């Protein structure tokens, strides 16, 4: 026992008692096993969260995989009769005289900013204005201050769009006063602050064009989701897609790192000499030799708290997420009014690493599948990933595939880390996301445009299946396979108000 001597009451005794409480888990971790599901918590580094679907997991680990099932998984999408269609119906032309300069200030993560850049080009075109390379705000969640030029190849961006709009890297001297700091200090006549979400082209002509006439410059902030997807000309719609799918190329060092990672996934090293080996695709009976899947596992604390779902971490996890939710959003989380069962039945709960692993296994992927994990920090750390790693031991990520020297230029920069994942995702044989969101939507759109296989999880079905604890593995697999027919990247035409960047057909794709 720890002997408490010489400290009786007073501040010293209280401080020592407080310190002792904090140190008890270190010296006596076994005492805290009732809280072992908390992840992360003060005790999560000793107590990993237990699997929630151990019955299904055990069945998967004992099964054998039929070859035919594997072959169909890796078969590329058939030709669906659609092709990229980006050329304007009118000959591209620049206005003889620009009406002025358009600045935009973009917040959000990489994919939200990417959509904002596309919209900014379209607005500049609508207004016959010159676009200043967009300003990317510091991300408040990831604390990343990367600029447009840190992420995207500016020369390529300007060159691809040179016949469509005029773009400048920075403002001329007479407008050098128009900075982010200038607009942060007071109300300014040149700042457009009240642009509505999904504003029409006519709104910009009526409200922003007069500012350009008067001052020669207009700064739009905030500028996120500020252009409608409906009632725009075919020329503007195709221009937005041209920006997204052709003009926005990552900087060379991101592409180089992405290429290196893709190469190491496709041609893993021999066990004997460590050299990368080009393997024949069909040597392994169609089991995916030389092929790989990208899994976007958006399972960070921010997502977990915002979803308001229960992820099996016990009381300590619920308290931690509720506190985080209150601190970040002051209780403004719509999902929090529903029970966990209701949220799962509606498909509103992101899949845990364990659950996405079971989905992949039910679809037919086995332990020889090369899996690339595209994600930021996983809530719960390696402990939360253990079930997924047991199912897919060949799971890799940026850290396991690239040296610290190769990763030096992107270290600690969330946008560049996301850019590498985006690049690798676009070069994968199959992409799947465990949670709907900006990355999921961006990949669905871009890979549809290129006719690449992309699996869209049926979230409502999976929520109901995982809530049924009596399901056997054959029943679970049969339901998963039936519920995911037609969800492997088949063309879905955009409906009114849906995003052009998620559904590029028919606006930016033509039948042939």
Residue 254: what are its φ and ψ, rounded to 5°?
A: -70, -45
pLDDT score at 23:
43
pLDDT score at 67:
57
Give the CA distances from residue 503 to residues 205, 225, 448, 508, in Å, rounded to whole numbers and listed in that order: 27, 16, 8, 9
Complete DSSP assignment for 412-447: T-HHHHHHHHHHHHHTSSEEEESS-SHHHHHHHHHH
Quote the percentage of the chain above a pLDDT of 70.
84
Q: Tell me how far apart the alpha carbons of residues 501 and 498 are, in angstroms, rounded to a whole number.
A: 9
Looking at domain 54-62+69-80+252-268+289-299+350-511, does it have CATH number 3.30.70?
Answer: no
pLDDT score at 31:
40
Q: Tell me how far apart the alpha carbons of residues 195 and 220 are, in angstroms, rounded to a whole number.
A: 8
* Whether residue 222 has a cis bond before it, omega within 30° of 0: yes
Q: Taking the mean position of all CA atoms in its chain, how far away is CA 351?
A: 14
* Residue 413, Ramachandran bin (φ over 0: left; ψ between -120 and 50: alpha; else beta): beta
* CA proximity to 426, closest of 402, 443, 449, 448: 443
pLDDT score at 43:
35
Element (H or E) spanning 142, and its range?
A: none
- Yes or no: say if 508 and 237 are a contact pair by the CB < 8 Å rule: yes
Q: Tell me how far apart the alpha carbons of residues 408 and 403 are, in angstroms, rounded to a whole number.
A: 9
pLDDT in tens, 378-415: 888 888 899 999 999 999 999 999 999 999 999 999 99
pLDDT score at 316:
86
* CA proximity to 294, closest of 371, 389, 234, 393: 371
Domain locations in the chain as residue ranges:
54-62+69-80+252-268+289-299+350-511, 101-247
- Yes or no: say if 38 and 48 are a contact pair by the CB < 8 Å rule: no
Complete DSSP assignment for 150-163: HHB-HHHHHHHTTT
pLDDT score at 41:
35
Q: Tell me how far apart the alpha carbons of residues 162 and 148 are, in angstroms, rounded to a whole number.
A: 18
Q: What is the pTM of this model?
A: 0.86
Number of helices (H), then strands (E), in the chain: 21, 13
pLDDT score at 69:
61
Q: Tell me how far apart the alpha carbons of residues 299 and 380 are, in angstroms, rounded to a whole number.
A: 9
* CA proximity to 384, closest of 459, 299, 465, 308: 299
* CA proximity to 157, closest of 256, 250, 257: 250
- Virtual CA dihedral for 111, 116, 118, 122, nearest 10 degrees? 170
Low-confidence ranges of the chain (pLDDT < 70): 1-48, 65-70, 270-289, 331, 334
């Amino acid at each position: 026992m720890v002997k408490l001597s010489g400290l009786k009451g007073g501040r010293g005794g209280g401080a020592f008692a407080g310190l002792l409480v904090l140190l008890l888990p270190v010296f006596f971790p076994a005492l805290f096993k009732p809280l072992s599901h908390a992840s992360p918590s003060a005790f999560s580094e000793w107590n990993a969260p237990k699997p929630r679907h151990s019955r299904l997991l055990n069945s998967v680990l004992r099964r054998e995989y039929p070859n035919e099932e594997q072959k169909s998984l890796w078969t590329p999408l058939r030709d669906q009769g659609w092709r990229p269609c980006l050329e304007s119906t009118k000959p591209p032309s620049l206005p003889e005289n620009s009406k002025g300069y358009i600045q935009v200030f973009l917040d959000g993560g990489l994919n939200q900013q990417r959509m904002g850049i596309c919209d900014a080009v379209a607005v500049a075109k609508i207004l016959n204005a010159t676009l200043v390379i967009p300003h990317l705000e510091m991300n408040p969640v990831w604390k990343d201050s990367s600029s447009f030029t840190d992420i995207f190849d500016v020369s390529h961006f300007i060159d691809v769009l040179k016949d469509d709009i005029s773009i400048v890297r920075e403002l001329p001297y007479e407008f050098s006063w128009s900075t982010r700091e200038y607009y942060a200090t007071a109300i300014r006549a040149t700042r457009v602050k009240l642009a509505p979400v999904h504003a029409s082209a006519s709104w910009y002509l009526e409200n922003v064009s007069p500012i350009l006439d008067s001052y020669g410059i207009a700064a739009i902030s905030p500028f996120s989701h500020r252009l409608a997807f409906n009632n725009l000309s075919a020329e503007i719609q195709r221009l937005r897609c041209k920006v997204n799918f052709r003009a926005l190329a990552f900087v060379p060092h991101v592409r180089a790192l992405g290429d290196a990672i893709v190469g190491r996934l496709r041609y893993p090293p021999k066990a004997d000499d460590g050299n990368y080996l080009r393997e024949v695709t069909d040597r392994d009976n169609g089991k995916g030799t030389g092929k790989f899947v990208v899994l976007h596992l958006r399972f960070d604390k921010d997502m977990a708290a915002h979803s308001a779902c229960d992820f099996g971490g016990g009381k300590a996890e619920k308290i931690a997420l509720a506190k985080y939710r209150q601190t970040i959003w002051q209780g403004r989380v719509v999902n929090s009014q529903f029970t966990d069962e209701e949220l799962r039945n509606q498909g509103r709960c992101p899949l845990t690493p364990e659950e996405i692993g079971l989905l992949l296994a039910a679809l037919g992927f086995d332990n020889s599948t090369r899996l690339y994990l595209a994600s930021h920090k996983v809530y719960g750390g390696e402990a939360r990933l253990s079930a997924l790693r047991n199912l897919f031991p060949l799971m890799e990520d940026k850290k396991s595939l690239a040296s610290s020297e190769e990763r030096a230029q992107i270290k600690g920069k969330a946008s560049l880390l996301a850019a590498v994942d985006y690049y690798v995702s676009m070069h994968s044989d199959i992409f799947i996301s465990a949670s709907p969101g900006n990355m999921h939507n961006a990949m669905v759109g871009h890979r549809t445009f290129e006719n690449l296989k992309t699996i869209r999880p049926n979230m409502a079905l999976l929520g109901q299946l995982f809530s049924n604890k009596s399901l056997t593995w054959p029943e679970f697999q049969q339901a998963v396979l039936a519920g995911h027919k037609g969800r492997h990247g088949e063309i879905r035409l955009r409906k009114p108000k849906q995003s052009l960047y998620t559904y590029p057909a028919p606006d930016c794709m033509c039948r042939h």
